[in-house]
């Protein structure tokens, strides 16, 4: 099938071999769209042909774009997905790495916050449990705490009627 220098054939082969290797069905329409862009814009061909730019990375970029855009369930128009796929090839790799690092840092900060909150809750639970154990130990030894004695006296003292 290889016809030498025809860039469209080389791009089609590259995209198809990556799709075959990754076996990602949703990537096929994206690959077809990218090939169409290459036909219209030969300069875009050079971007698609870069070895470090793959259909797998493109698919991951589109997936993360959609996930961020939707925040939950829903759908995006096909053209918006195709535009995101095109953007992957247009974005400088340094910018992609910066975006990825920002997302990872945000996730790490959220994870650390949850861990800190869980530790704080656990410490509060331990304090409550320790206080309860101490209270039970004091009762078992026959000691009454000053707080309990004051509370018991207040309960046993008749309240004065309001005038």
State the pTM of this model. 0.53
First to last CA, the chain: 106
> What domain range includes position 119?
92-138
Query: What is residue 1's predicted lDDT score, i.e. its pLDDT?
Result: 43
Q: For residue 151, tell me if it sits in a domain.
A: no
User: Distance (Å, rounded) from C-alpha 86 to C-alpha 99?
Assistant: 17
Which residues, in sequence order, are CB contacts of 13 under 8 Å at separation 6+?
1, 2
In the predicted structure, residue 107 carries a pLDDT above the cut 60: yes
pLDDT tens column, 46-95: 888 888 888 888 888 898 899 888 877 788 899 999 999 999 999 887 77
Query: What is residue 91's predicted lDDT score, i.e. its pLDDT?
Result: 87
Say if residue 68 is in the same domain as residue 113: no
**pLDDT band, very low/low/confident/very high, at 2 (cuts 50, 70, 90):** very low
Q: For residue 156, tell me if it sits in a domain.
A: no
Say if residue 38 is in the same domain as residue 82: yes
Q: For residue 43, tell me if it sits in a domain.
A: yes
pLDDT tens column, 83-96: 999 999 998 877 77
pLDDT tens column, 15-38: 777 777 766 557 778 888 988 898
In percent, the amount of the chain with pLDDT more than 70 equals: 81
Q: Which of 132, 68, 75, 156 is nearest to 106 (CA)?
A: 68
User: Distance (Å, rounded) from C-alpha 59 to C-alpha 48?
Assistant: 13
Residue 84, both tokens: 């995101």
Say if residue 85 is in the same domain as residue 113: no
Is residue 34 within 8 A of residue 53, CB to CB? The reply is no
């Amino acid at each position: 099938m290889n016809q030498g220098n025809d860039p469209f054939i080389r791009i089609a082969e590259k995209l198809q071999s990556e799709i075959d290797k990754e076996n990602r069905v949703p990537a096929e329409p994206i690959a077809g769209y990218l090939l169409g862009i290459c036909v219209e814009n030969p300069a875009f061909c050079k971007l698609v042909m870069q070895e470090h730019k793959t259909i797998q990375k493109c698919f991951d970029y589109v997936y993360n774009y959609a996930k961020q855009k939707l925040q939950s369930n829903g759908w995006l128009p096909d053209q918006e997905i195709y535009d995101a796929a095109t953007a992957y090839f247009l974005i400088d790799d340094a910018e992609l790495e910066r975006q990825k690092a920002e997302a990872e840092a945000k996730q790490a900060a959220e994870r650390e916050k949850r861990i800190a909150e869980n530790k704080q809750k656990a410490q509060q639970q331990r304090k409550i449990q320790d206080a309860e154990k101490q209270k039970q130990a004091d009762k078992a030894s026959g000691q009454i705490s000053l707080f309990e004695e004051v509370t018991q006296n207040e309960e046993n003292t008749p309240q004065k009627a309001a005038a």
